[in-house]
Amino acid sequence: MEKQESDINENLYGERVIANAELVCFPNPSPKRTYEISIELPEFTCKCPFSGYPDFANLKLTYQPAQKVVELKSLKLYINSFRDIKVSHEAVVNEILDKLIISCSPIWMHLEADFNPRGNVHTIINVNHGIKAKTF
């Protein structure tokens, strides 16, 4: 089956949704209680800025919300928007944390990016924001 030129140049619906991704937050349903939210995103991808090869990572986000909580679908789409971006491990992890801080202003936030080994090198990047409050 031959693809028509209009099919080749047209982005698929998922690509369009990812391209327009923005982080969305909603009001914390229990702002008077200190609690933690843990989210795992095991299929993160971006590209190496030097080789163009894909880099894969498991992202683990843990945070204590203040007034806002991150909506999960918007987080997924935002994370997927990096798949074709050429960026270093260090830069992308800090960029993601910075965007999350701006979007939801957490009490405390930790992001771990465990990148798959490539060329016998395994990288884990940990970034933090704020001071973790005691929860129990």
Q: State the sign of the Cα–Cα–Cα–Cα dihedral 133, 135, 39, 78.
A: negative
CATH number corresponding to 5-130: 3.30.1130.10
> For the chain, what percent of residues have pLDDT higher than 70?
93
pTM over the 0.85 mark:
yes
Q: And the tokens for 34?
A: 């200190």
**Confidence band of 7 (pLDDT split at 50, 70, 90):** low
What phi and psi, each to the nearest 5 degrees, are found at residue 72? -65, -40
59 close to 45: Cβ distance less than 8 angstroms:
no
Distance CA(64)–CA(62), nearest Å, equals 7
Distance CA(114)–CA(50), nearest Å, equals 19
Distance CA(108)–CA(91), nearest Å, equals 20
Distance CA(67)–CA(58), nearest Å, equals 27
| Section 121-136 average pLDDT | 92
Over the stretch 91-127, which tens digit does the pLDDT of each residue have? 999 999 999 999 999 999 999 999 999 889 999 999 9
The CA-atom distances, in angstroms, between 127 and each of 9, 90, 110, 113, 115 are 38, 9, 6, 9, 14
Domain boundaries defined on the chain: 5-130
Q: So which residues are the catalytic ones?
A: 48, 55
**Confidence band of 10 (pLDDT split at 50, 70, 90):** confident
